Amino acid sequence: MRNNLKKIKIGVLGGAFNPPHFGHLKIAQIAKEKLKLDEIIFIPYGKPPLKKIGLAKAEDRLKMVSLLIEGVGGFKVSDYEVKKKGKSYTIETIKYLKKKYKNSEIYWIIGEDSLREIIEGKWKGKLKVLDLANFVVFLRPNSQFNLKTLPKELEKKKRNVLKKVILIKRKIPISASEIREKIKKGEKVNKFLPKKVLRYIEKRRLYE
């Protein structure tokens, strides 16, 4: 018997969320609307492959993401990478999600820098990771990146795989690193974060 059930379209936004902010919400909302996704799952890194300086504890970042998306319909957070032993790799997380959500299409949301890392072969699984999910890449407003004009030196297979990537131009006014720097300097960041997240940061004395 054929399975005629409509596939659920799941967007996944992975990252450090160090801290999570309105920019993350905006990216998720844009992707959800443009691609007509049924839901977005936020997945904070547990232990990233590359060491990140000034990274808050995984449990704190998980809690902050929960506070960020609280009350937002269609958004939820997963503790998969936080609870997973060892380093977090995108290719392994995608395989886990495909197994958990069998009747689904996965849309993995990343930034332009992450796409460049994949092209350069820095991610585990290299280009194979692009075959496992739809990749949605948010580009900077002034980005010159264009899939139609990929460098000629790229192998044919690499060029063909990358043509399946979905590109979206973005305009995000703040980054997590800028927020951390402002907190360290004692500057106000209330316009970049929900009050609940800011209160949590202050209570836990994060990024001071």
Domain 8-175 is found in CATH 3.30.70.80: no
- Segment 40-52 mean pLDDT: 84
157, HSE (Cβ side, Cα atoms, 13 Å): 5
Name the pTM for this structure.
Answer: 0.90
- Please answer whether residues 176 and 17 qualify as being in contact, where contact means their C-beta atoms are separated by less than 8 angstroms: yes
What is the band of 155 on the pLDDT scale with cuts at 50, 70, 90?
low
What is the band of 4 on the pLDDT scale with cuts at 50, 70, 90?
low
Q: Does the pLDDT of residue 172 top 90, yes or no?
A: no
pLDDT score of 64? 99
What is the band of 47 on the pLDDT scale with cuts at 50, 70, 90?
confident
- Segment 29-58 mean pLDDT: 89
Q: What are the pLDDT digits (tens) for 106-152? A: 999 999 888 888 888 888 988 888 889 999 999 887 888 777 766 66
- Segment 192-207 mean pLDDT: 97
Higher pLDDT, 69 or 85: 69
Q: What are the structure tokens assigned to 132, written together?
A: 């496992």
Q: What is the edge-to-edge ordering of all strands in the sheet holding 39-44?
A: 75-77, 39-44, 8-15, 104-111, 134-139, 166-169
Q: What are the pLDDT digits (tens) for 5-41? A: 789 999 999 999 999 999 999 999 999 999 999 999 9
What is the band of 199 on the pLDDT scale with cuts at 50, 70, 90?
very high
Mean pLDDT of the chain: 89
**Between 195-204 and 58-69, two packed helices, what is the crossing angle to 10 degrees?**
160
pLDDT score of 1? 42
- To the nearest whole percent, how much of the chain has pLDDT over 90? 62
DSSP state of 184: H
The H-or-E segment that residue 24 falls in is helix 22-35
pLDDT score of 67? 99
Pick the range with the lowest mean pLDDT from 48-62, 102-116, 155-169.
155-169
pLDDT score of 179? 96
- Domain range annotation of the chain: 8-175
